[in-house]
């Protein structure tokens, strides 16, 4: 099939590339001319494992191309995906201006019957708004389908090629057939395409992210209680996760959830509830716990070193909101670093792939180091904020020798507290018995 993907960011670029890889003829469109020019030169705008190779192969084989010309791409397409950003609006709602602007342009560009797919995360009722926006300028028939995306940055290709499920909200048989054919290569019987009405599809995406955020905040609350009563959250986590009704995923306490999705999607769902006269109390608590959690490491540092951290230098390992991505949107590292700088500290940070993103976020206020060890030189403590694999088994003797004082704040519980103490570190984790 001939496809256009409008918006070539984390979702659009992955979706477009994977659809091309299954044999479709795909144009990825973006309004960001620099992004498209870079892609045309073979330079990816984002770090996503495996994407570079897949893009190059599909470009070479003539199935994938990049353009700023939405009108020309849509004119030749049977299916158009809208995968632009839906950032947080002023009152917590999802800001639909990019989706609706794209939909209007798409409408004017149609030259034949076209299936228009909302891939962006959008609140209940958006399919109807997109239909109206497309319809305003359309001279050809079209259907609007809701097809929220569940990929995880850092494992996006695998998630897209082998999804747990594909959710499609659709109210036309013609569009349903097109979507079934498009996704057939990616699904097996046990990984279904779930067809449903559009409001249910739109809500499913928010409910999934909210559920995952609930689990994280729940564990962060349990971790806080563990610290107060002298329990070890790691033992509690294993005891919980082994219950088949509960399971292990998303039970890790830490420095709070971040990223481009959970924070804004939880807020948007709360706002949708309010617009319909319903206070989603559980989700409000989830947000409060998360805000508290993002401040935890700075509080621990202030307790250990005193409230004034001027004259102190801290090493920070990990800046991306999670491993295997360069995405720092709403990353807990920003809150940790700003909190430490706010108390007068200097920061030397390292992240395996996010230096270019961090430079945009912090400018020259943070020293970005090429290696994890360089960040440790002369530092008063190490803060582990993102659990990249390369931080899990460092040369601890070298870490200790480079640090001015052997203090570690482990925001992801990647080290064994007893082993760290045996190596001579003053070790602070999350929800684990504290040294003081």
Ligand X SMILES: NC(=O)c1ccc[n+]([C@@H]2O[C@H](COP(=O)([O-])OP(=O)(O)OC[C@H]3O[C@@H](n4cnc5c(N)ncnc54)[C@H](O)[C@@H]3O)[C@@H](O)[C@H]2O)c1
Question: For binding to ligand X (CB under 6 A), which residues are involved?
Answer: 6-12, 29-32, 35, 70, 83-86, 98, 101-102, 120-121, 149, 151, 153, 260-261
Minimum distance from CB of 177 to ligand X (Å)?
25
CA–CA separation, 261 and 43 (whole Å)? 25
Helices (H), 197-324: 198-229, 233-241, 262-275, 281-294, 296-305
Identified catalytic residue from 28, 226, 261, 369:
261
Least distance in angstroms from the C-beta of 351 to ligand X: 18
Cβ 143 to ligand X shortest distance, Å: 20
Measured in whole angstroms, how far is the alpha carbon of residue 220 from the centre of its chain?
Answer: 19
Give the three-state DSSP class for 306.
coil
DSSP 307: S
Least distance between ligand X and beta carbon 321 (Å): 10
Q: How large is the C-alpha radius of gyration of the chain?
A: 23
Q: Is 261 a catalytic residue?
A: yes
Which residues, 6 or more positions from 243, have their beta carbon under 8 angstroms from its beta carbon? none
Please, what is the minimum distance in Å from the beta carbon of residue 208 to ligand X?
Answer: 10
State in angstroms the smallest separation of the CB of 8 from ligand X: 5
Residue, CB closest to ligand X: 9
Adjacency order of strands within the sheet including 193-196: 64-67, 25-29, 2-6, 79-82, 114-118, 142-146, 166-169, 193-196
- CA 221 vs CA 46, 233, 284, 414: distances in Å: 33, 10, 14, 19
Identify which of residues 132 and 341 has a Cβ nearer to ligand X in the complex: 132
Q: Which residues contact 367 (CB under 8 A, 6 or more apart)?
A: 346, 347, 348, 349, 375
Q: Which residue number, 81 or 383, has a Cβ lying nearer to ligand X?
A: 81
Handedness of CA 235, 237, 238, 243 (dihedral sign): positive
CB 9 within 8 A of CB 32: no
- Positions marked active-site: 261
């Amino acid at each position: 099939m001939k496809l256009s993907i409008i918006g070539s960011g984390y979702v659009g670029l992955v979706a477009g590339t994977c659809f091309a890889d299954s044999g479709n003829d795909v144009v990825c469109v973006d309004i960001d001319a620099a992004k498209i020019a870079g892609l045309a030169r073979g330079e990816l705008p984002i770090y996503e494992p495996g994407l570079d190779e897949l893009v190059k192969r599909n470009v070479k084989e003539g199935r994938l191309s990049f353009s700023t010309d939405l009108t020309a791409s849509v004119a030749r397409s049977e299916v158009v995906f809208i995968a632009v950003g839906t950032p947080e609006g002023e009152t917590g709602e999802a800001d639909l201006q990019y989706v609706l602007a794209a939909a209007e342009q798409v409408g004017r560009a149609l030259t034949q019957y076209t299936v228009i797919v909302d891939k962006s995360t959008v609140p209940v009722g958006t399919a109807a708004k997109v239909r109206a926006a497309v319809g305003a300028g359309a001279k050809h028939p079209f259907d609007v389908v809701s097809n929220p995306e569940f990929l995880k940055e850092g494992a996006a290709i695998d998630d897209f090629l082998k999804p747990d499920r594909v959710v499609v909200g659709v109210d036309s048989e013609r569009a349903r057939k097109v979507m079934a054919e498009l996704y057939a290569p990616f699904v097996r019987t046990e990984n279904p395409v779930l067809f449903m009405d559009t409001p249910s599809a739109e809500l499913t995406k928010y409910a999934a992210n909210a559920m995952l955020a609930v689990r994280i905040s729940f564990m962060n609350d349990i971790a806080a209680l563990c610290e107060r009563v002298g329990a070890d959250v790691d033992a509690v986590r294993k005891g919980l996760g082994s219950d088949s009704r509960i399971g292990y995923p998303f039970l890790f306490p830490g420095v709070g959830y971040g990223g481009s999705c959970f924070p804004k999607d939880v807020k948007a769902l709360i706002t949708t509830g309010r617009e319909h006269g319903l206070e989603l109390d559980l989700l409000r608590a989830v947000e409060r716990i998360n805000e508290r959690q993002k401040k935890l490491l700075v509080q621990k540092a202030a307790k250990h070193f005193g409230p004034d951290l001027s004259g102190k230098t801290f090493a920070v390992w990990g800046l991306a909101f999670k491993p295997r991505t360069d995405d720092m949107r709403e990353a807990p590292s920003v809150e940790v670093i700003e909190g430490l700088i706010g108390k007068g500290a200097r920061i030397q940070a390292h992240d395996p792939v996010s230096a270019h993103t961090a430079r945009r976020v912090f400018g020259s206020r943070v020293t970005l180091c090429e290696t994890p060890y360089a960040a440790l030189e002369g530092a008063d403590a190490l803060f582990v904020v993102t659990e990249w694999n390369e931080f899990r088994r460092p040369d601890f003797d070298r870490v200790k020798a480079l640090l001015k004082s052997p203090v570690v704040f482990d925001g992801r519980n990647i080290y064994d507290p007893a082993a760290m103490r045996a190596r001579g570190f003053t070790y602070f984790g999350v929800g684990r018995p504290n040294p003081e």
